[in-house]
Structure 1
Amino acid sequence: MQRITPFLWFNDQAEEAVEFYLSIFDDSRVLTQTKYGEVGPGPVGSIMTIEFELQGQKFVALNGGPHFTFNEAVSFVIHCESAQEVDHFWEKLSVGGETSQCGWLKDKYGVFWQVVPTLLPRLISDANQDKAQMVIAAMLQMQKLDVVALQTAYDDA
């Protein structure tokens, strides 16, 4: 059983956001939904929460109103095995959102993601600090992380 579940507060776009995420991540599904009743605070019969799963990771999305918004203090890291996976998630999640430095992006719902090749932690934690620093320097120049360029920076150091 997953002991910690990210809980995402949306104004009123939880259903739309969940469908967006399900369209991007394979092996994903809606698990349960709850609806607002007579006591509110949302319209009677409208979706209150959606529990969903993205590649085995459970989340809950809430239509909670405009009281809170997402910010960079919390993000979700997608560990990508290949450049093709980096491209897939970067291109799909950034549609209608904003891209940033070092593999970070904000999707069109304001949720922050980091699209990271799995080789990056290994390269930047290398015992050879010259190599690690060259990779970090290369990464700092990128928005979408380029697997080939990161490996080249490491190899050329």
Structure 2
Amino acid sequence: MTTDGFTTCLWFDGQAEEAAHYYVSVFKNSSVGRVSHYTEGAMQPAGTVLTVEFTANGHKFVALNGGPQFKFTEAISFQVFCDNQEEIDYYWTKLTEGGGEPGPCGWLKDRFGVSWQIIPERLDEMISDPDTAKSSRAMQAMLKMHKLDIAALEKAYAGE
């Protein structure tokens, strides 16, 4: 992995390698890179996975097996912008499988507790429209949803 730009480090409690392979299976343009291991005298037994470098959807990550001290919260989330309902359905299904949890307004937590926002590319345009009646209708529709429904959002936006 190069040091260009940013690399996101995700802290896990023993699931770093599992998580890296999981995210690589969900997103295109993804791969697992270098895996490092704890050495003798470290926080974990020698040979235990310390870090896993991976790329998911072209974004660089390091999964770190740091222990149970820290957990993920909704204060940090990853936004996945989708072109169509098929993409929204795909990411929603893949990221909630195996113990993930759906949340409001297109948010969800995956089985590792990482928060994601699965949103249509067009949503920002709708809710920031200078026509406040249109933007308000789109916003009110979104606030009632879990997984976002593009057709329903478009209908609300149009006033139908």
TM-score (ref. length: structure 1): 0.96
Q: Which of 34, 48, 52 lines up with 2:36 in the alignment?
A: 34
In 1: Cα distance, 2:6 partner to 2:25 partner: 24
Residue 115 of structure 1: which of 100, 118, 124 is its match?
118
* CA distance in structure 1 between the partners assigned to 2:19 and 2:107 by the alignment: 18
Count of matched residue positions in the alignment of Structure 1 and Structure 2? 157
Counterpart CA distance in 2 for 1:82 and 1:32 is 34
SS at 2:156's partner residue? helix
Once residues 14 and 35 of structure 1 are traced to their aligned partners in structure 2, the CA distance between those partners, rounded to angstroms, is 11
Contiguous gaps of at least 5 residues in structure 2:
none
CA distance in 2, matches of 1:2, 1:128: 40
What is the correspondence of 1:33-72 to structure 2 with a 5 Å cutoff? 33-72=35-74
Match for residue 141 of structure 1 among 129, 141, 144: 144
Cα distance in structure 2, aligned partners of 1:2 and 1:132: 38
Deviation for aligned residue 1:21: 1.0
Q: Do 1:103 and 1:143's aligned partners in 2 also have CA atoms closer than 8 Å?
A: yes
Matches for 1:70-149 after TM superposition, within 5 Å = 70-95=72-97, 96-149=99-152
Shift of the 132–21 alpha-carbon distance from structure 1 to 2, 3 Å rule, reads same
Aligned mates of 1:105, 1:81 — CA distance in 2: 18
Asked whether the 8 Å contact 1:2–1:58 carries over to 2, the reply is no
Q: Is the 8 A contact 1:81 1:118 kept in 2?
A: yes
Q: State the 4+ residue runs in structure 1 displaced beyond 6 angstroms.
A: none
**Which has the higher mean CA deviation after the structures are superposed, 23-32 or 107-116?**
23-32
Query: What's the CA shift string for 1:43-64, capped at 9, x where partnerless?
Result: 1111100111011100110011
Distance 1:63 1:41 in 2: 10
> What's the TM-score once normalised by structure 2's chain length?
0.94
RMSD: 1.1
1:78–1:2 CA distance, 2 compared to 1 (3 A): farther
